[in-house]
Amino acid sequence: MTDITNDIADLSLAPEGTKRIDWARAHMPIMRSLIKRLENEQPFKGLTIGICLHVEAKTGVWMEALTKGGAKVVLTGSPGSTQDETAAALVKDYGVHVFSHRNETFEDHLRYCENVLSFNPDIIADNGADLHELVFTHPEFEHLQAKLIGATEETTTGANRLREDFKSDKWATLIINDTMSKRIIENRFGVGSSVVDGIMRATNVMLHGKKVVVIGYGYCGSGTAQRLRGMGAHVTVVENNSLTKLEAHMEGFYTSTLEEALPDTDMVVTITGRDDVLRKQHFELMRDKTIIANAGHFQREINLPDLNEMSESINRIRPHVTAYKIAGEAKELFVLSDANLVNLSAGDGNPIEIMDLGLALQTLSLERIALNAKSLTKIPQPVPYEIEMMVAELACKHWINH
């Protein structure tokens, strides 16, 4: 285990973080019910859980559930999304080992993932497969291939990496994003709402009447497109998958190619989970004052090195808006939140109630692994159906029938 037990911005911020977590808990009835049961049953006693997920108040309630359920927890977040107050409260109030701060770089993030794995976890809960990648590719952590009893993965991006890049078959990884409740409730409604919220907080511009291009029409992309249209924006969807493109068309959206859509738009939102979605050739097509936001998993969806190379000046003009003056042209492009997830870096992420459901899926999936990992096939797979239905029933009980 590493000698470093935490790396956060400022422990003195803990009281403010405690308030944030208290506010989130007050609006998370599903998690409150699970915390009470886990505290009595102690399903995670004696286990170390290594986690990579955004460090914010809703995650704080999840950490409370795991630690009160007996787990030793080591946590890191993602660049640009950490709430330093929450990180401090998790260290002070719950004894979580936290490696994350608001201004961390991607290099910091990878180092913090190494810190998490240095605690030799029994289970990992991943977000984009960064922890998995280290276990599969770094000799320092190769021993965990035999030690880990199971894992969860939050995202479609991470699931794709596990299935396509690593062909993971050492343990069962339960893919939270394979559940319909996660895709429909959290991705379509939660992400859609929080992306619009993040863009408006970052810019303070009116969305009514704006021409917006949404790149990617998965569940997150479709939710974002729908929420933008609900705010009065004229939305064009760019999607390579023919079936998904047809879905967008049937739901009333304009559909187009990037090359056709970019010259006549006010705003572009990437939400694909893939690298280099916007590159030099695309920046060249955009008109003056185009706003560019990323809501996909990785900052790398927007190729900032290309944009840096094209620019004669780069200026931060609002806390979450950077202006790139294109060399030799009377054109500025505005990038939000340094291309980090705009809903988490410029806002507070998905609505609290939405994450109540998503984190309940995580909690019960980890409990299944802790108590009965041997019943699961050693491949990436959906969350067991009975767990998804249990969470849906809890949501109905607390959201509809209360």
Beta strands in 33-82 (DSSP E): 48-52, 72-76
| Structural contact between residues 139 and 112, judged by C-beta atoms closer than 8 angstroms | no
What would the two tokens of residue 234 be? 């004229």
Q: Is 343 known to sit in a ligand binding site?
A: yes
Q: Calculate the alpha carbon distances from 99 to 90, 138, 256 in Å.
A: 11, 19, 42
| Structural contact between residues 310 and 326, judged by C-beta atoms closer than 8 angstroms | yes
Determine the length of the chain.
402
Residue indicated by tokens 């944009």: 307
Q: Is 239 known to sit in a ligand binding site?
A: yes
**Sign of the dihedral defined by the CA atoms of residues 254, 260, 263, 267, in that order:** positive
Q: Is 296 known to sit in a ligand binding site?
A: yes
Q: Is 50 known to sit in a ligand binding site?
A: no
Torsion angle, alpha carbons of 344, 348, 354, 355, to 10:
70
List the alpha helices (DSSP H) in 69-216: 84-94, 106-117, 130-137, 144-147, 156-160, 180-181, 192-203
Query: What CA–CA distance (Å, rounded) separates 354 from 241?
Result: 28
**Sign of the dihedral defined by the CA atoms of residues 302, 305, 307, 313, in that order:** positive
Identify the bridge partners of residue 52 per DSSP, sorted by sequence position: 76
Q: Is 223 known to sit in a ligand binding site?
A: yes
- Measured at the CA of 352, the angle between CA 359 and CA 72, to 5 degrees, comes to 40
Q: Is 203 known to sit in a ligand binding site?
A: no
Q: Is 57 known to sit in a ligand binding site?
A: no
Q: Is 198 known to sit in a ligand binding site?
A: no
| Contacting residues for 117 by C-beta, under 8 A, at least 6 apart | 50, 124, 131, 134, 135, 141, 144
Q: Is 80 known to sit in a ligand binding site?
A: no
DSSP state of 278: B
Which residue type occupies 266? D
Torsion angle, alpha carbons of 302, 308, 312, 313, to 10:
80
Element housing 235 (H / E): strand 234-238
Residue indicated by tokens 């190494």: 114
Q: Is 221 known to sit in a ligand binding site?
A: yes
Residue indicated by tokens 């109905």: 396
Q: Which residues fall in the annotated binding site?
A: 155-157, 218-223, 239, 295-297, 343
Known binding residues for NAD(+): 155-157, 218-223, 239, 295-297, 343
